[in-house]
Copies of this chain bind each other. A is one copy, B any other.
Amino acid sequence: MAASILIVEDEESILELIAINLHQAGFNPIRSLSAEFAEKIIQKNLPDLIILDWMLPGMDGVEFAKRIRGSSTTRKIPIIMLTAKSEEDNKLKGLNIGADDYMTKPFSPKELIARIKAILRRNAPELVNEPINMNGLELDPIKYVLTNNDKIISIGPTEFKLLNFFMSNPNIAFSRNQILDKVWGNKSDIDDRTVDVHIKRLRDTLKHTGQHSLIKTVRGLGYRLEKIENS
């Protein structure tokens, strides 16, 4: 569930500093000291975001970013560029290459986390790992707990992920295949209709909380969580 974040940075102390902070923020950091090694990592499993140093020995950050953007499997992965102050004029260039954001060294880890969350919130809110609250129902991805008015509700792993996904993306309708991709992972060769069954199970566990009608069926398409705006 935790978002995996690939850090490509040749200075080890900075690499570690970032990694620790990401870990504490509930992310899953993957370390790489070079672009070349990073490429190998990516071939095995795709990170949800990449933090990339501008200057690297061997293949530099710019070149690496270009390659990320050039491949269809990796094109969508957000990139945050790190640059030293003296290279600040490269900012524009970096953004042109396709970085989603950039930060100037030295930076505070806190700010980095904030930017990461901002980007993830845009692309995959269910990975941000923040507690979500809706009308007395609270889901905390880090504590791995679901409560209704502070009462813990027992819920299975898949249902938990499913609910996390829906609560992170309220009022948006998803097809069964989208849901499979996001909740089960894109590796799955699972039948569409399995989603129906899990929706049913999720509805059942929510029934006891009086939140039964939270997840609506969108006929012909899939499902949607309907969030009641608190006026």
Task: Give the B-binding residues of A (Cβ under 8 A).
Answer: 12-13, 16-17, 19-20, 66-67, 69-70, 72, 75-76, 92-93, 95-98, 106-108, 142-145, 150, 152, 156-157, 171-173, 218-221, 224, 226, 229
Contact = CB atoms under 8 A, between A and B. Distances in A.
A183 to B, nearest CB: 14
A144 B75 contact: no
A65 B36 CA distance: 28
Contact of A229 (B150, B157, B172, B220): B150
A216 to B, nearest CB: 8
A25 to B, nearest CB: 13
A226 B146 CA distance: 12
A149 to B, nearest CB: 11
Contact of A76 (B20, B67, B70, B156): B20
Contact of A13 (B19, B98, B171): B98
Contacts of A106: 92-93, 96
B13 A97 contact: yes
Contact of A70 (B12, B67, B69, B152): B12
Q: Which of A67, A96, A157 has the most CB of B within 10 A?
A: A96
Nearest to A19: B75
Nearest to A142: B172
A70 B11 CA distance: 9
A16 B69 CA distance: 6
A103 to B, nearest CB: 12
A156 B173 CA distance: 13
8 contacts: A13-B70, A16-B72, A17-B96, A20-B75, A92-B106, A96-B107, A157-B219, A157-B220
The 4 closest A-B pairs by CB, nearest first: A157-B220, A144-B173, A13-B66, A96-B106
A156 B219 contact: yes
Nearest to A78: B20
Given A108-B95, A229-B150, A221 B157 contact: yes
Name which of A92, A97, A142, A143 has the most chain B CB atoms within 10 A of its CB. Answer: A143
